[in-house]
Amino acid sequence: MDLTPRITALEHDPRRPSTVRLEIDGGRFGAVPQDLVSAESLVVGRTVDAELHQRLSTAADAEGAYHTALRCLERRAYARSDLARRLQRKGHPRSAVEAALQRAAAVGLLDDEAYVRSYVQTRAARGRGPSRLIRDLLAMGVQRTLIDRALAAEWPEGSDRTSMPRALAVKRVSQLGGLPRQTKRRRLLAYLARRGFSGRDVTEMVEGVL
């Protein structure tokens, strides 16, 4: 009796026109690219030896990771390393994740330089300072050189780097009521540091606000 696995169904995925749903021995195997189906001459009744099974498994894993990546990117942009961690947490194999990231980057869906530039611009406008932005982006696995480049574009040499923290400090100090001056100073500096603003110029600015 021949127990070699066989393909029992090949169906085009209506939601993903370039992929084909594959069944082996009556059980759902996964979705693989149409190109692979053609390249391997897959048809119903084709036997699946160990080597073919491995190729199909690799392709199905990569396809699954890619479409999980697409669902994530539909909701918001990601840095490459941050998206990789998310896909791995969802159970996709590392090799499949890397293949999915390369595929997403090839069609322009992943671009760390553009991501960092946008992230810095939008968060700076919301009152986040350089040190907070550096910390957040490094935690996402972004290269420091990309971060420094985006920060330099947002705060060019010679520009006023205290306008945003000054506005934050003025608003915050009005909420501190009749607290002693030193208490206000300490709380303002700690508040601004949490937002990513620190250094001598910020300390001098706080003195001026007080």
Q: Strand, coil or helix: what is 48?
A: coil
Q: pLDDT per residue over 110-155, tens digit each?
A: 999 999 999 999 999 888 899 999 999 999 999 999 999 999 999 8
DSSP 8-state secondary structure symbol assigned to residue 20: E
CA distances to 104, 109, 127, 168 from 71, rounded to whole Å, are 12, 12, 30, 36
Euclidean distance between CA atoms 191 and 64, whole angstroms: 44
Euclidean distance between CA atoms 203 and 192, whole angstroms: 10
The model's pTM: 0.77
CA distances to 35, 70, 115 from 20, rounded to whole Å, are 9, 17, 32
Q: pLDDT per residue over 68-121, tens digit each?
A: 999 999 999 999 999 999 999 999 999 999 999 999 999 899 999 999 999 999
Rounded to the nearest angstrom, the gap between the alpha carbon of residue 104 and the centroid of all alpha carbons in its chain is 12
What pLDDT was estimated at residue 2? 59
